[in-house]
Structure 1
Amino acid sequence: MKNVLNNTKKRFLMVTMFATLLSFAHEGSFLIAKNDADKISVTLTDVKVGNLLSIKGDNGIVLYKELIKEEGTYTKGFDLTSLPDGEYIFELDKDVEINTIPFSVTSNKVNFNKDLETTIYKPVTRIKGEMVYISRLSLNKSPLAIAVYFTPEDGSAHVPELMYSETIENTENVSRIFRLSGLNKGDYKIIYKTDGKVFTKEITN
């Protein structure tokens, strides 16, 4: 079995690598309005059903989350003045990007800084026949770690086999193409790590 896995690993061929300019038109996702009582109204444009809106503390703990149920424009009021003093973020998790805007609470006063609003573009995995296409845009050239694991469908492996790994640095546009043809049947899992987040894509061959 070990020889089979080793042969499979050798045949897991990265066909080519190239840089492609990905076109993402991005404008600020969060429209913040504040009334005299420091109540916050959050408006999100161009949202889709299934997008996830969260409020997180600076330790990453989720304090609030809501799945968007209607497409278009979302508006909701939040009373953030009762939060303990500290740093927080609003996070909107969309199909191919994650938008965040930080805010702070000090003595029941809420302050947003639009200049610190950020966008993280998720790694995108597309499958066409025997080819797997990977792309990722990072305007700040954040490192991207890619690891591909294989589990044979006959259940003979107790743990997934690492087939390929790479960490890409100092690159704004990342593109990779992998070929799955001729490989043993089973399940593949691609794990991406970037900007402190982990993304996973599973493929059955």
Structure 2
Amino acid sequence: MPEKCKLVTLIQTLNIKNKMKKTILAIAVLVGVSTANLSIAADKVKENNASIELVSGAELKFKLSLENVKERSSLVIKDYTGQIVYSTSIPKSENYTKIFDLSNLADGNYSFIINNGSEISTKPFAISTETKRQVTAVIK
């Protein structure tokens, strides 16, 4: 009887080990698939149809150009703290262009954030005021 119990125990142990191996393998596959999905999602965030061009540095005007804008797209400008300083919806179009006058914004770091429902594109920019000092001779 003890021999039979040992054999049953051994078979049960092997069954448990096989189940554990299958479970570990399933978890490894799930983690691999999840990681692949995350990297694809990260690529979507990095992919960017938005191009932001500086139109005039002196006047703080930025030109935002977007291609293939989908329905329910939005544009947000946030400051470095994440505070929204501007928000609007963007109409569906193949080419969208808008000039932004950012002269009323204080010096600091900002971001244009474009969300088209499936992708989020971020374009950071900075505003800094430079003081130019000049010396001129006074003729008497």
Equivalent in the alignment of 1:92: 114
Correspondence for 1:103 among 125, 128, 133: 125
Equivalent in the alignment of 2:83: 61
Correspondence for 2:70 among 48, 53, 57: 48
Output the CA distance in 1 between the equivalents of 2:60 and 2:86: 19
Output the CA distance in 2 between the equivalents of 1:38 and 1:87: 14
Output the CA distance in 2 between the equivalents of 1:67 and 1:73: 15
Output the CA distance in 1 between the equivalents of 2:125 and 2:73: 21
Q: Which has the higher helix share?
A: 2
Q: TM-score, length-normalised on structure 1?
A: 0.40
Equivalent in the alignment of 1:199: none
* Cα deviation 1:47-70 (Å, max 9, x = unaligned): 111011100111111111111122
Give the number of equivalent residue pairs: 95
Aligned residues of 1:49 and 1:67 also touching (Cα < 8 A): no
Matched, 1:32 2:78: no
In terms of Rg, which structure is larger? 2
Identity of aligned residues (%): 29
Q: TM-score, length-normalised on structure 2?
A: 0.56
Correspondence for 1:82 among 94, 104, 107: 104
- How much has 1:27 moved relative to structure 2? 4.4
Aligned residues of 1:89 and 1:103 also touching (Cα < 8 A): yes
Letter in 2 for 1:55: I
- How much has 1:28 moved relative to structure 2? 3.4
Where has structure 1 moved over 3 Å in runs of 4 or more? 20-28
> Structure 1: which 5+ residue stretches go unaligned?
1-13, 109-205
